[in-house]
């Protein structure tokens, strides 16, 4: 009995372990990444490319800058001991006086991410090259990352992002290390992939470069466009590139008309002096922004004979939205060319034509017969009438004669 109990216990144990293994295998792996921008002095922690947290940093002085490149966490230490780089014999154990705080994560040689006993230094260029964090922040990060987690360090004065509500914002930071000169064209190149560059004037960009205050400027919400189920893409016309993003800004839906008109093969006329757009369907007000031509999406039915608007991509809210349009019924549209008919259909058509011709001929014969019959009937009636008349005349004469004899 004991033997069977041991076997049963062993089988149960194996089943539980197998179930645990299957559960672990079914758990999707989380891709973790740390991104540091030395120009903004900010760290962003990502999981599966989703922004989880943003932390302010204290980085290397201008003469001992934090290195840029692609690193990874090599070691994690709680309550580290600080060793003075200029005097290796001098050590400070963990505690309030330790410059490393209570967490250390090595990324290369003597460089690492750590806490600090000088929280007021966060936000400046203050270290010998290491990455300082507020103690509460470094302890939070320490729990989330693993040995081997990538750490990417860049130096970008211009940052462009699509924030949670769909708006595109951009930041310009001061050139703390003196490594990156930027101009208006450089900033526009960062904005163009988002489709919002036409909505920020060059003068506004120039002013922002001069300020370099690291504050966000919100431009608008860009959306993709579909017409009759087909995605509208950027095009080149008359030597110019035309963007294909609709942009919502100040409660106005701006629609890029050139790529849509080209997709629909509709001739479009832009009258710059009048600021109007014209097609065979109608004329509306046009809006020119940095050589890009837009109309209000509400006027799409008049200008391009398409109807629709902003809709969800799918039932999942996280999939976002898209402008969807469909061609409306309009008598100005040319009818579609009929499909070529097969020889069989053509023969059938000829046969039908012959039948119709025979029917017509039959009708003509019937008509002739009827006409002849009517003519004969009329003639017979006339002849009969004459006979009756002649008889009446004869009778009258005979009667008169008899009267004379008397």
Which are the catalytic amino acids? 114, 130
Q: Which two tokens stand for residue 79?
A: 């309550």
Residue among 196, 178, 40 at smallest CA distance from 187: 196
């Amino acid at each position: 009995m004991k033997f069977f109990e041991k076997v049963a216990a062993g089988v149960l144990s194996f089943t539980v372990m197998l179930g645990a293994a299957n559960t672990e295998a079914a758990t999707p792996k989380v891709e973790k990444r740390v991104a540091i921008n030395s120009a903004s002095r900010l760290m962003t922690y990502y999981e599966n490319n989703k922004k989880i947290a943003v932390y302010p940093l204290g980085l290397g002085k201008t003469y001992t800058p934090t290195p840029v490149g692609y690193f990874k966490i090599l070691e994690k230490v709680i309550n580290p001991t600080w060793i003075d780089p200029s005097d290796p014999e001098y050590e400070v154990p963990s505690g309030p006086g330790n410059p490393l705080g209570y967490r250390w994560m090595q990324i290369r040689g003597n460089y690492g991410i750590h806490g600090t006993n000088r929280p007021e230094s966060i936000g400046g260029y203050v270290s010998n090259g290491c990455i300082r964090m507020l103690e509460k922040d470094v302890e939070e990060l320490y729990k989330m990352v693993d040995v081997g987690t990538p750490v990417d360090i860049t130096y970008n004065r211009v940052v462009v992002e699509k924030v949670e509500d769909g708006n595109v914002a951009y930041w310009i930071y001061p050139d703390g290390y003196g490594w990156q000169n930027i101009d208006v064209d450089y900033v526009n190149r960062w904005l163009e992939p988002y489709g919002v560059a036409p909505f920020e004037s060059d003068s506004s960009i120039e002013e922002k470069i001069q300020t370099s205050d690291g504050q966000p400027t919100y431009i608008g919400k860009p959306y993709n466009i579909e017409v009759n189920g087909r995605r509208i893409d950027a095009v080149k016309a008359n030597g110019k590139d035309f963007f294909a993003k609709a942009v919502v800004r100040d409660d106005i839906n701006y629609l890029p008309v050139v790529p849509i008109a080209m997709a629909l093969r509709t001739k479009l006329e832009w009258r710059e002096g009048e600021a109007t757009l014209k097609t065979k369907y109608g004329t509306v007000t046009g809006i020119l922004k940095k050589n890009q031509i837009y109309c209000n999406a509400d006027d799409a039915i008049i200008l391009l004979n398409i109807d629709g608007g902003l809709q969800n991509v799918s039932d999942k809210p996280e999939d976002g939205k898209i402008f969807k349009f469909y061609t409306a019924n309009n008598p100005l549209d040319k009818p579609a060319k009929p499909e070529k008919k097969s020889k069989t259909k053509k023969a059938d058509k000829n046969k039908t034509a012959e039948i119709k011709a025979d029917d017509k001929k039959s009708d003509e014969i019937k008509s002739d017969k009827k006409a002849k019959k009517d003519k004969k009937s009329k003639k017979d009636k006339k002849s009969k009438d004459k006979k009756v008349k002649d008889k009446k005349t004869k009778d009258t004469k005979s009667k008169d004669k008899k009267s004379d004899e008397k």
